[in-house]
Amino acid sequence: MKRDLLSILDLTREEIYALFGRARALKDLQKRRVPHQRLTGRTLGLLFDKSSTRTRVSFEVGVYQLGGHSIFLSPKDTQIGRGEPVRDTARVLSRYLDGVVIRTFSHDLLEEFAHYASIPVINGLTDLLHPCQVLTDLFTITERKGRIEGLRIAWIGDGNNMANSWILASSRLGFELVLACPPGYGPHRKVLDLAGREGGGKVKIVEDPREAAEGADVINTDVWASMGQEEEYDARRKIFAPYQVDAGILSMAADDAVVMHCLPAHRGEEITEEVLEGPQSVVFEQAENRLHLQKAILEKLMG
């Protein structure tokens, strides 16, 4: 049966750790320029309704390094933009492609596509979740800290798709997660309910960013207005101003804490230039690891 990756909950804890192991091996092979073409003759489609630098390029390069090929599909150049139903597109593309990465607004649309597709569907970000990024961030943490268990991870800012995926990750892997969000901007109810049913996580939601940062091993943040929320940008800038990750917030974390941001970042808004470019920032390692971790995902789902 085909496997999809729409949410971190689609993977077991053992599968997540196996992905980290394979990503580490693939990273080493790529650094040593050893060929590792396990997807020869396979084609990956990338169906993107939103802009992307990292997700698009890391998947395209990743499948190429694995011996396969990719096709970038934007709605304006396909019949999707002219209203061809999702369920038809899913069944047609399944007859050409061996897998597809979808970046879109509605998570329901992604689920509908996956329901009708007979090929693996990978979530390249929806308004609700961004699993490939959070899996990569967890992999980056294992490289840096040698473990995830027992760590205290802080999320400071919007309760957005990244925050939601962190909550599901905590429920799968059991680390402590403290989110500081302004009132009314917390994580999605559906995700909290889902995490509650799965159990396993130690998730706390607070208002004060300092409470989240206190003793944290990892400080995480993201933009205050995600793609699709451009009209709310001015209002959000004011509401989120007390949630900037700056030197003061960082000083409350553990001495060896790392700072994470999935990028793109807005310096001077959710994070200061000093912290983003500072010695505790691992943002470019995160960006690089998208390539290695997603190659492990492609092998697992399309191999």
Query: In the complex, which residues of this chain contact ligand NVA (CB under 6 A)?
Result: 125, 160-162, 222-223, 226-227, 262
Between 94 and 157, whose beta carbon lies closer to ligand CP? 157
98 binds, options ligand CP, ligand NVA, none, Cβ within 5 to 8 A by partner type:
none
Contact of 23 with 139, CB cutoff 8 Å: yes
- The footprint of ligand CP (CB under 6 A) covers 52-55, 125, 133, 262-263
Residues in the chain: 303
Out of 54, 98, 127, 133, the active site residue is: 133
Distance CA 58, CA 291 (A): 5
Our answer to whether residue 222 is catalytic in this structure is yes
| End-to-end Cα spacing for the chain | 13
CB of 246 to ligand CP, least distance (A): 22
Our answer to whether residue 261 is catalytic in this structure is no
CB of 54 to ligand CP, least distance (A): 4
Tell me the residue type at 64.
Answer: Y
CB of 202 to ligand CP, least distance (A): 26
Out of 130, 172, 236, 261, the active site residue is: 130
Distance CA 178, CA 9 (A): 19
Between 165 and 272, whose beta carbon lies closer to ligand CP? 165
Residue 103 sits at φ, ψ, to 5 deg, of -120, 120
Of 184, 43, 194, give the one whose Cα is nearest residue 107: 194
Between 55 and 165, whose beta carbon lies closer to ligand CP? 55
CA distances from 104 to 67, 109, 141, 273 (A): 27, 8, 27, 30
Out of 4, 42, 54, 103, the active site residue is: 103
Closest residue by beta carbon to ligand NVA: 226
SS3 69: strand
223 binds, options ligand CP, ligand NVA, none, Cβ within 5 to 8 A by partner type:
ligand NVA
CB of 38 to ligand NVA, least distance (A): 28
Our answer to whether residue 290 is catalytic in this structure is yes
Our answer to whether residue 217 is catalytic in this structure is no
CB of 104 to ligand NVA, least distance (A): 11
161 binds, options ligand CP, ligand NVA, none, Cβ within 5 to 8 A by partner type:
ligand NVA
Out of 42, 49, 222, 292, the active site residue is: 222
Partners of 261 in the beta sheet? 221
Q: Where are the beta strands (DSSP E) in the chain?
A: 43-48, 69-73, 99-103, 121-123, 152-156, 176-180, 202-206, 218-221, 258-261
Give the active site residues: 103, 130, 133, 222, 262, 290
